[in-house]
Amino acid sequence: EAGDAASSARLYLRAALLSPEDVQAWQEADAQASVAGDAALRLEVDAALEERALEVGDRDARLLRLAESSFAAADVVGVGLYAGRSLERSPGAAESWRLLELADFVDDAALVRAALDRVLGLEETEPSARLSSLLRRSALLAADEPAAAAADLRAALELGHSDVSDEDRYVELLLAAGAEEEACSALAWLAERSEVSARRAELLTRWRALGVAAPGVEERRLLELWRGADAEAYEPRWSLAQQHLDAGERGPAQELLEELSALTLEGDRQQEVDRLLGEVSYAEGSSALASAALRRVVERDPEDLEARALLVDALEASGAPAEAAQLLEEAGGEALVFG
């Protein structure tokens, strides 16, 4: 009977406030406020209803309106209160995305985490730079909880909107959380997805340095990946050669040892590589290759009688008996054991 929706809404609201148990008064106040189109009145009714957490009208829409109005007024507490309540009610996709943005405004780690979990749980969620950015922000807010922060960064990395610093921080957080196996797996995963050879080699160097066997990590495959990423890396080639030899696969081991022999290696590595290359290639029937490798070994260490003896055998097998005889003569009568 008031004659207009705004007046009716105010009268019904007054009645509801006087008699909080009068559900019909609350319902009419909500309905008339919606019809009135008066934003201030709408928010007044919304606030009164939400103060009592009444399930009147569309409470989901009401909570979002209150969160938006708080955001417009730069009311951090209000945004946090209403966005948090809204997230507890499993909002729809569009509302979830907006609540995620509002949660970021509040700068509350728990609220951002709840909003992120909601958005990530949506079937229609698409990879986006914005979501990745919010995940990285959540990781920063959760810095004192390294496991949770690492999970956020992993999600951001999977979306593809990240950089090298995010990758490094992800691994550091896992290590800070005491999850060495996960860090090992993370380094392997990052290396496999990297398209830059130098970066891939760097990640695999760190993976190897951890010295941790992680479930699901195929060592030989990663070593081959590392070998392909770094033409001068000693570790993957030497480890692969040893694995092939342990499996009785001398052919692949010989190929790897040839690659190593062509590198400039430090300390005793060059001698170790050439010696093993001589032994393996001789066993494979590659006498000329064995002779060349063992000759280098003997030149560096004339006192290595075993290498000298095998070199004599390799020279004879490769059709160079004269050189073999000269080596025997140079030995000056020292005992040589022939294979």
**How buried is residue 266: exposed, middle or buried, by Cβ count under 10 Å (0-12/13-18/19+)?**
exposed
Flag residues of the chain having pLDDT under 50. 335-339
Tokens describing residue 113: 């985490």
* Per-residue pLDDT at 271: 94
The Cα 296–Cα 272 span in angstroms is 11
Amino acid sitting at position 215? P
What region does 265 belong to: left with phi over 0, alpha with psi -120 to 50, or beta?
Answer: beta
The Cα 199–Cα 205 span in angstroms is 10
Which residues does 184 contact at the CB level (< 8 Å), separation at least 6?
Answer: 207, 210, 212, 213, 214, 217
Phi, psi for 75 (deg, rounded to 5): -90, 95
Which residues does 51 contact at the CB level (< 8 Å), separation at least 6?
Answer: none
Tokens describing residue 139: 């990781």
Q: What is the pTM of this model?
A: 0.67
* Per-residue pLDDT at 337: 46
Nearest to 187 by CA among 176, 172, 198, 178: 172
195 touches 229 (CB < 8 A): no
152 touches 139 (CB < 8 A): yes
Tokens describing residue 172: 């550091």
Q: Residue 304 in 3-state DSSP? A: coil
CA distances from residue 122 to 31, 111, 112, 116, 151 in whole angstroms, order as listed: 31, 17, 16, 10, 17
* Per-residue pLDDT at 332: 60
Tokens describing residue 307: 């290498």
The Cα 118–Cα 80 span in angstroms is 16
288 touches 281 (CB < 8 A): no
H or E stretch covering 63: helix 59-72
61-107 confidence digits (pLDDT tens): 999 999 999 999 889 999 999 999 999 988 888 888 888 888 888 87
